[in-house]
Structure formats: C-alpha cells, structure tokens
Structure 1
Amino acid sequence: MMEKQMIHVIGGGLAGTEAAWQIAKAGVPVVLHEMRPLRKSPAHHTEELAELVCSNSFGALSSDRAAGLLHEELRRLGCIIIGTADEHAVPAGGALAVDRGVFSHNLTETLGSHPLIELRRSEVQEIPTEGVVVLTTGPLTSPALTEDLQRFTGMEYFSFFDAASPIVTGESINREIAFFASRYDKGEAAYLNCPMNREQYLHFWQELCAAEKAELKDFEQETAKFFEGCLPIEEMARRGEDTMRYGPLKPVGLFDARKGDFRAPENQSQRPYAVVQLRQEDKAGQLWNMVGFQTNLRWGEQKRVFRLIPGLEEAEFVRMGVMHRNTFLNAPQLLHSTLQFKKRPTLLAAGQLVGTEGYTAAAAGGWLAGTNAARLVLGLEPVTLPTTMMMGALFDFISSASPKHFQPMPPNFGILPELGKRIKNKQERYGMYRDRALGDLDSWSRGLRASAA
C-alpha cells in the first residue's frame, strides 16, 4: 500500500473543488492550488472557488433530461457541487440555477474550513513530477502551465472560443412588454420573455450582423474555432436571417397570459415572431441573464444593439458579454476512462480541460478524478463507472472517441448504449434511460461498498 501522501489538485473551479472535497472525504490530505487573485483570468471576476463564469444554470432539472440525470447521479454519489447548488437554487422553470455569489462563497468557506484541505493561492507553472496530481485548470489554463502540459503530452492542443452572456438589472426591464412564462408552461414561470414582431426582429438582426466585434487580443483570429454549443449570438445571426429564431430566440411554446391564450386558433396571429428570454440570476430577482446571448461585441455595441430588444430599451447592464479562449486535451489519445493519463497513471485530469462541456460535467469529472486519486493513495484500484450511467458514458466517450475530430461533449442521451427495444416516444425512451442508469448506479455503489468492507 502506498504511503498516505498528500495529493495536489491544481485549479479551483468546479472540477477542482469537487475533486479536493472527494479526496478529503476519503480521509486523504489535499492541497488545492488556485492562482486567483494573485493571477487573474480573462473570464473570472472573483477569487472564490467554483465561480460560475458563464451562466448560473446547471441545465435541466428533471432526471428524464440528460443534464438532470447527471444531477441525480451526482446527488446519489454525494457530490458537493450539486448538493450546494440544490441548497442555493433560484427559480428557473425546469432548470437548476443558483445564486452564483452565494453558491461560490459557500463552497469556498466549506473547503477552507476542512482540516484535510489546504488552499494555496499561487500559480502552478509546472506539473509536479512526484506523487498523485489532479489537473483541473479548465479552459483558461495559464500560459506557463499550458506550455508544460504541451511538453508532457508531446502534442498540440485543440482550442476553441467561448463566450458569456450579458446580465441586466431586473428593475430596468420594461414589465409592460416582458412577460413571465416558461416554455410550454413547464415548471414555474421563471423566465422573463421579450417578444418581437417581424419588423422588430429584422431590424435587430440587421443591426446585430453589422455590429462591431471586440478584438481577440491575445488570440489568433484566423485560428478561432467556435464551439457549437456556446456560439456567439452575432455569429449565429450571420449564419442566416432565421438562425436565431430556430435557436435561442425561438417563439415556440411561449405565451403571454395577459393577452389571452395564444394557443387558441383565434389568437395565433398574435404569436410573437421571435422571443428573447431572460433567466433569473439571483434569489431576489435583481439580476437577469440574457439566455443564449454569448457575445464578443464591443461593449458599446452590446448596449446599442441589445437595447433594440422590446422591453430592454432602458436595460442597465451589470455585466457585459465577454469572449475568451478555451483549451482542451485530445482526451481519446491521452486519457483512460478513469481520467488517468495513459503516460502517467498518477496524473489525472477533469473538467473542461478533458473535453467535457458544462458545469455538471465538470463536477462529475471532479468527482471521478478525486475519487480515483484518493484510491491510488489508499492502495485501491481506480474505478470506472457503468456506461449505462450518464457519467460513465461521458467519460467512456471522451476516452474512446475519434481523436481526429474530437470536440467537447456535453451530457446527452446519444452517448448512452441503446435500450434493448425500440421506443418511439422520446419522453418514454428518456425515462427508460434514466431508470436503467439509476438502477445500475445503485447496484454499482452497493458493489463498491461491499468490496471496500
């Protein structure tokens, strides 16, 4: 059995926070390295652990949705990220969204007070060569560590460009125009919706296409590659007049109850041509995120163009949209599904660095990498998860996909093994995926506990 040595986790985002917690929970001492505030990143605004830099939403809450299933798997596995998200949730219809400030502050205090966790505020420029190490530096890995990681892997990184949406104050939204509703009335009506007629939409689309973008500064513009799951709104607009209306501005299923039931045949003519949705950022409803409006427009242009949206004419922006580089490993060439490097099994990685997309996937990677790091120190075999689970399927995918065309992958039912029979009804099919996943998780967990007894 290996000596009960200290594990080093590099990066205090969602994955790193989760990894450090799982290591300490296993009774192993851990140092969590976070370079903020000594060295700032292009996207972070605070020095808190697990800061949410893009949206405040973890995705769909229902367990018959891909993100929701991953939430439930993590709840059953004792994930501190999801547990804290549940504790500090804000109304968001069918989504799990949090008061981001309280969420991150709570996690920072919880980890900071754990006797087995040492939080070091310093930049790590090289991968430690000894002991068990977990890399969770995310898409904004510092240049020095990026170079060292490139030397270690002996291969080029892939990189894409990611963007964050603006946030406006609730009191600056015109409530005579914006209306509360969730799509198809699912969940609590927790979204504010700004409807557009055809003339308003076309004017907005034309101005958005013509708006001036910010320079990418440190990045090579000719090599910029947008990740389709987080496409800047101006890039989406340039792809065609109706692209936004089939994306984040789709009017389907959104009805203003103040004007009667749009679903009634006699009211179909009143249906909006496009709808901009705003999601609540904090429990008090003082801050609202422009859903799907990730952008790299100049800040002055953002204010000018986004105030063309009905209901946002007087919008007060508390955070403008920003754009930054994301870096991720070619995981199929480098990692096992245990999140260990093939070249060095005592080095693990998790989060967006390994090519998983989304907050919940980062937490899942942190759980697995932290669990396996602790098991290595304790002299136990690393675990793999059943591929019928969303977690297991996700890590199996990133470790076995085609390296040539590897791109970040969010949780989705398409990566799960097919069911034994064909089910046409999508909701029923997803429900069966969920039941199988959670059943296999419970069986796997019982087996794991029995082996450790």
Structure 2
Amino acid sequence: MSQTSDTPELHIVGGGMAGSEAAWQAAQMGVPVVIHEMRPKVETFAHKTGDLAEMVCSNSFRSDDDEQNAVGLLHWEMRQAGGLIMEMADTHSLPAGGALAVDRDAFSAGVTERLRAHPLVRVVDDEVTALPDDGHWIFATGPLTSAGLGQAIAEETGKDALAFFDAIAPIVYADSLDMDVIWAQSRYDKGETEEEQKAYLNCPMTKQQYEDFIDALLAAEKTEFHEGETAGYFDGCLPIEVMAERGRETLRFGPMKPIGLTNAHKPDDKPYAVIQLRRDNALGTLYNIVGFQTKMKYGAQTEVFKRIPGMENARFARLGGIHRNTFLNSPTLLDNQMRLRSRPHIRFAGQITGVEGYVESSAMGLLAGRMAANQILGRDLPPPPPETAMGALIHHITGGADAKTFQPMNVNFGLFPPLDGVRGGRKGRKERYKGYTDRAKELWVDWLAGASATPETV
C-alpha cells in the first residue's frame, strides 16, 4: 500500500454494503477515505444499529454456485477482487445448502471493525444533505436515502429521474416462453420498421381463461406495506389487484385490452384479453409484463402468472412488487464510470444506481471505489467486459437498459451477451450457463490483471 500525504481524499456518503466495499477497495489502493454515515444520529425505520453494512431485509446472499448461477458468479468475481463484503460473508457464514447466508450481526460488526481499523479510513457520523461542488465523491445511500439528500439529487437530475415509490412489473426470460402460443406484434402494427411493428409479445386469453385469471388474482396472497411506507399509489402504476378490485372488466380495458391485435397463430380467433410483454434489454433476452406491477407475494405471483397462455413454463428473472425506493434513471444520468454526467466529480454506487440485492449493491460499490481511486491516482480504469457479471450489471445500468422503463434489477444471465453460436431453449441450459461462467471468469481474471491498479494486501 502506497500513499503520499498529498493524495486527495475520497468521500463516500453511506456506510451500507456499497459504501463499505467502495471504501475498502479505495483504501487498499492507498487512497484516504472518509465515510459519511448518518446513522445512528439520523435513524431509518429499517436499520437498528449504527454499524456499517447492516443487513436489514435478509441474511442471504443467495446462491453461491459460481458455475450455474449469475449471483454465484458475482460472488466469485468479488472474491477474486479482494472484496471485503465477501470476505466477511465467508467468515460469518451459516449453513444454508447451496446458498450463502450469514450471521447478520457478526457480519456487520466484522465489516465495521475492519474499516474502522484501516489506517486510511475515517468514519464520520454526519448527514450529507447537498451535492458538493468539488472533490471526489461516491454517493451510496441506498433505497432509504434521506429526504434532504433525495431532494438535492432530484433538483440536480430532475424530479422525473428519481423515483421515491417504485412500481415493478415481473420480468421473464425470453427463452422460457412458448412462441407456438405467443406472437410478436405491436398494437395496430404501429412502427416504421418491422422490428418496431413486432416490438411486443402477446399472450391471448379466452373469456373463461380471463375469468379464471381474475379469480386467481383476487384470491392471491398480498404483501402488506412495511412501517414507514405509504400505501398511496400513483395513478399510472396501480397494482393489477387494485384494478381488478374496481371491476372484473377493468383489466380488459386496461393493460389486458385485446384491441388492435391479431393472433398470428389463429387469425380468425379474436382474443377476449391479451397480456403484452415488452423487451426489457437490448439483447432481447428479457421481457417485462406490461402494466403488471403487483403486490402479490412471490409464490402467488409464480402460480398466477403461469396461468397466462404461453407462460406455463415461464422462468422469472425478477418478480413484481411495489415498495418505497430511491433510484436514479442511471441510463440517462450516469456515464460508464458511474459518474453523474452533470457533475463528473460525483459517482453513485449501490441500489441507488438501479441494482437490486446486497451482492449487486456491493459489486457496484467495488467498481465505483476502484474507478474513483484510479482517477485520484491519475490512472484510467475501463469498465469490465460486459460478458462478466459486474460488466453485465454496469453495462445494464449505464446504457444497456431502456431508460423509459428502467427499473432496479438483480444480476441474471439475461443481462449477458449470448454465447457465440448458442441460442436459447430449455434444452442445454446447464451447458449454456456453464459457458457463461467459464467465459466470464477468464475475462474477469484478464481484466483484473490488466487494470492499472489493484488492491494490495494490508
């Protein structure tokens, strides 16, 4: 570890998963770090302690399979990069089958101890409520960004670029859909090109299928709002259950309206209702169910949505939900160095960038910390290849996703560029996933080796 007395400080706002990892990576490179954490002086309804990297929703890092699972691959990449979050997760792991679960309190205490003991890390208990005009900054304040800071970010980026209440529709893998039932068509064949005219996938329903679907929807178990959240909805993102409660035909005149569509498989059969899916990424590997934001519990969602014709075998990259959240429309606001385009001395990391999950947040902190440290040290660090798990995530949030429909996302193989000569389909999925991970590991090792600065062991 080398550092001179005149090396500028890196300020990190937020001591959660992303902020802690960013601080560790930068400090390991010899850059002095100041972590600004408002807790315990300013409390949130979710956090219980003043420790860094406190886990508030779960103690699981999900699957640790680095050959068949995208999040397991992300674990592997973070370990290879000397990540503090993964080191502490491994140290304080609990038996959980093929998943990685941790002792929550011990994990957070371990991260806090390591960072507070680091000679280049200083933790300040204060609340940052404004965007600074100069210096080197990373904002990693997560989904519970304070009201004051949220207002400052909204004023800088525009109120439409920052969401405080998040309506999420489910996302399915394209290769799990039955295209013998589903057809591609935009309503009224709108669009100047054939691609635009076939921008949507359509799932037809008969009257009986629609009635059964409404019955299942109304009977499904719903998630209640947590303390500190509001149950008010925006008119443009009503949960489908709320619409169905207003009348059995409401959905058929809303997101399930059949007008302007002709079933390519059965042109003479007019559907009673149609569910549309819209491409969710540039690769065309993921599709979201249009207008299907929901507060059904996850198990209920899977059961209800698999009633949709053509989706009987659907695999979900993300299930739907409605909850309080704060995230940037990153594809329009951040460059590929995770810098705010309007203020390039400020980077964002973690859930506020539009990733979901502890591991994904930590990974974005790892990249932001390395990128910021390299810039401070006068070096260039390109983003990792999009074929890697971290590269796929940063590519998605900084340009790969559709800015108009951008919503937070977990890492999944649908974000990865397809393997050469390999197409989807349920057959051969195991080999395909192994191909993704083998390719990613080779490229990740090369990227780490070629990076102009890598963390040293303290």
TM-score normalised by L of structure 1: 0.67
Match among 122, 127, 131 for residue 131 of structure 2? 127
Secondary structure of the corresponding residue to residue 378 of structure 2: coil
Percent identity among equivalent residues? Answer: 40
Post-superposition CA distance 1:78-115 (Å, at most 9, x none) = 11101111111111111111111100000011101111
Deviations 1:111-150 (A, max 9, x none): 0111111101111111222101000000000000001111
User: Residues 214 and 344 from structure 1, CA distance in 2 versus in 1: closer, same or farther, beyond 3 angstroms?
Assistant: closer
Matching residue of 2:366: 367
Residues 166-186 of structure 1, C-alpha deviations (whole Å, 9 max, x = no match): xxxxxxxxxxxxxxxxxxxxx
Q: Provide closer, same or farther for how the CA distance between residues 450 and 348 of structure 1 changes in structure 2, counting only shifts above 3 A.
A: closer
Does 2:233 correspond to 1:222?
yes
> Per the alignment, in what secondary structure is the counterpart of residue 24 of structure 1?
helix
Structure 1 alignment gaps of length 5 or more: 164-204, 247-291, 296-322
Structure 2 match to 1:412? 412
- Shift, 1:154, TM fit: 2.7
Q: How does 1:43-62 map to 2 (within 5 A)?
A: 43-62=46-65
Displacement over 3 Å in runs of 4+: 159-163, 205-220, 224-237, 242-246, 292-295, 449-452
Measured in 2, the distance between the counterparts of 1:209 and 1:388 equals 38
The partner residue of 1:29 within 22, 29, 32 is: 32
The answer to whether the 8 Å contact 2:29/2:454 transfers is no
CA deviations on 1:351-389 (whole Å, 9 max, x unpaired) are 110001111111110001011111111111243111110
1:158 equivalent in structure 2? 163
Determine whether 1:243 maps to 2:304.
Answer: yes
The alpha carbon displacement at 1:153 in A equals 1.4
Q: CA deviation at 1:294?
A: 12
Q: What one-letter code is carried by the residue in structure 1 that aligns with 2:383?
A: T
The structural deviation recorded for 1:162 is 9.4
Task: Verify the 8 A CA contact 1:346 1:376 in the aligned structure 2.
Answer: no
Match of 1:281 in 2: none
The CA RMSD over aligned residues, in Å, is 3.5
Kept in 2: contact 1:2–1:379 (CA 8 A): no
Is 1:91 the counterpart of 2:95 in the alignment? yes
- Matches of 2:72 and 2:32 in 1, distance apart? 32
CA positional deviation for 1:160:
3.8
Question: Is 2:437 the partner of 1:438?
Answer: no
Given the two structures, how large is their TM-score scaled by the length of structure 2?
Answer: 0.67
Q: Is the 8 A contact 2:18 2:365 kept in 1?
A: yes
CA contact (8 A) 1:23 1:29 kept: yes
Cα 1:434/1:225, change in 2 over 3 Å: farther
* 1:10/1:136 contact within 8 Å kept: yes
After TM superposition, the structure 1 = structure 2 runs for residues 28-427 of structure 1, keeping only pairs within 5 Å, are 28-64=31-67, 65-156=69-160, 157-161=162-166, 213=224, 219=230, 221-223=232-234, 232=295, 237=300, 242-243=303-304, 325-400=324-399, 401-422=401-422, 424-427=427-430
Extract unaligned runs of 5+ from structure 2: 169-215, 240-287, 308-317
- CA contact under 8 A between 1:73 and 1:441: conserved in structure 2? yes
Q: Which amino acid aligns with 1:328?
A: F
Change (3 A) 1:379 1:225: farther
Contact 2:34 2:123 in 1 (8 A): yes
Question: Number of matched residues?
Answer: 338
**What is aligned with 2:211?**
none
Residue 449 (structure 1) shift: 4.9
Would you say the 8 A contact 1:61–1:71 is kept in 2? yes
Q: Which residue number in structure 2 is paired with residue 260 of structure 1? A: none
1:341 positional shift: 1.5
Alpha-carbon offset, residue 159 of structure 1: 3.5
Structure 2 contact 381–451 (Cα < 8 Å) conserved: no
Distance in 1 (CA, whole Å) between partners of 2:376 and 2:398 is 23
